[in-house]
Amino acid sequence: MSTTLQPPRNRAGQVHPGPPRKPRSTAQPKPANPQRRLRLAGGFALIILVVFVIKLIDVQALTAPTYAGAATASREVTSVIPATRGTITDANGVALALTVQARNVTADQTLIKDPRATAQLLAPLLGKSVGNIQARLTGNRRFIYVTKSITPKTWDAVKALRLAGIFSEATSTRVYPAGQVGANLVGFVGASGSGLGGLELSLQNTLGGTSGKQTFEVGAGGRQIPSGTDNLTPAVDGSDVRLTIDRDIQWVAQQAIAAKVAETGAESGTVVVMDPRTGNILAIATAPTFNPNKASASKPGNRGNRAVTDIYEPGSTSKIMTAAAVIEEGALKADSKITVPPTLSRGGSVFHDHDKHGTLHLTFAGVLAKSSNLGTIEASEKIGSSTLYGYLKKFGIAEPTGLNFPGESRGLLPDLNQWSGTSFPTIAFGQGLSLNSLQATSVFATIANGGVRVQPRLVAGTVGNDGKFVAAPASPSVKVVSPQTARTVSDMLESVVSDEGTAPMARIPGYRVAGKTGTANRVDPTCGCYRGYTASFIGFAPADNPQLVVSVTLQAPKRGHYGGRLGGPVFKRVMSFALQELRIPPTGTPAPKLRLTW
């Protein structure tokens, strides 16, 4: 049973309204405590102050150097101060390569407000188009080259414009006052000023020096702030180099070989002039050549020094090594009799002389004077292949010359255990081995110097920043044959320029001349086969007191190929001039009269 509660009712049955409600209060609320608000506001202010103080300490004490450094760095400009490259001179102090001061114009693009207007001011002074300069001034790069290697006078005109964002750096330009004279020897430099060829390359550490630098601050207008940072590290200039070369002899040698190359249609030619007593090289001439002031405009093949880079089979000029070895070993004398047949069979091959002949009766001196291959083979067999090989090495064949010249080739001489049945006879008369023109010259210099080989050299000494000349060490030397053997071979070589020899055109009136012709089959590198000839003549004078050796070599001549006829006249011209230039008088003694036949 459920019961539902009902509201109370009075006696009349009406619902009772309940107890009376209290009237709503009309009083105002109490105000908040003002001390509490002040405390809250003070707390917030204190927090803000603490944060501010911490940040202030961080900025002023901790990161201030960083911000200051960054600000300074943004205003700093670093300029390289290049070292002045040393001068290269000949033996008499005549400049062959020197450095001329210049300026590179640079720009900070961020400081240039109107690139076109700036370009219009610069164009007439720099000799460039407005568009070209404007393109280099436009952008956000802090450093860019506008132009390079202008004269100091031109920079003064640019500087006078006081253009914002335009700067310069010291630089230099390498010039070669003698032009082509000695170009293949001296070499050339690249755009950076470093050596790229010849002595400019091999002597880079001596000539180049060490660059310095300067760092300074610039203001909003791009101009240096006088009181700002200015740090300077001075450059250390390179040393001057004095060569053993004589410019005048070099010029004559170049003229003579260039004329002969043109006359004969030869592929190339070289002339080397050396003092046999000291190893000093007085000239190394190459044709064709190039102008080092415009090196990039020349053919790469014409920039090298063929006298040390190109090797060839020498032919008959090599016979003096065979002759010296045979005489030194006591196997033959100058007047020893040799019967030379029309041909010889060796190692399965038939050998013959350049010109066909019947049986000849020659002395050993006659074999050399007539340049007989067969007579040389017979003479070499008196000492054997092993002994001959040893002498060839002592003469410097297939050994470095000691110049350390870029691209130098040491030549080729097969190891003795690699010789075939025909190697011994062919090497005896100058085929089957290879050398460069300087090595060939050194062989004759050894005989001229009494049998002592002196290492060739090009550098006489250097001059440092203190202005003092420091002579290069004397060249090392080695005895190859005795003075008596050298004297005998020299006498035999004088017969070569006699009327009975192969090079009477090499004679010089008043002087005794000793020399040897060479007419060798030439290896054509394009096919690896024998094609064409190498024509050469090498000699020294005065023969009885040798002071100069001159070698002449022509590669692949098309009009003529005999060494005496092509090389002899060039030798005569160069040697005659050098003797006069150096004031070397004739000795006045008569030449020996050796029997050539029997």
Please name the residue that has the structure tokens 């693009």. Answer: 109
**Alpha carbon 365 to chain centroid distance?**
44
Q: How far is CA 581 from CA 179, 253, 296, 545, 578, in A?
A: 21, 13, 34, 17, 5
Q: What is the DSSP string of 90-137?
A: -TTS-EEEEEEEEEEEEE-GGG-S-HHHHHHHHHHHHT--HHHHHHHH
DSSP 8-state class, residue 294: G
User: Is the separation of the CB atoms in 537 and 552 below 8 Å?
Assistant: yes
Q: What is the DSSP string of 372-397?
A: -HHHHHHHHTTT-HHHHHHHHHHTTT
For 206, the enclosing helix (H) or strand (E) is: helix 204-208
What's phi and psi for 249, nearest 5 deg? -65, -40
Please name the residue that has the structure tokens 């003070």. Answer: 42
Give me the sign of the Cα torsion angle 214, 215, 217, 218: positive
Give the closest residue to 281 by CA, choosing from 318, 242, 247, 245.
245
Report strand pairing: 452-454 vs 477-479.
antiparallel
Reading the block at residue 408, the tokens are 């130098």
Reading the block at residue 35, the tokens are 């001390």
Q: Is 371 a catalytic residue?
A: no
CA dihedral 55, 60, 66, 67 (to 10 degrees): 80
Alpha-carbon gap, residue 86 to 96, rounded angstroms: 11
What's phi and psi for 367, nearest 5 deg? -60, -45
Active-site hit among 172, 316, 423, 495: 316
Three-class SS of 206-275: HHHCECEEEEEEECCCCCECCCCCEEEECCECCCEEEECCCHHHHHHHHHHHHHHHHHHCCCEEEEEEEC
So which residues are the catalytic ones?
A: 316
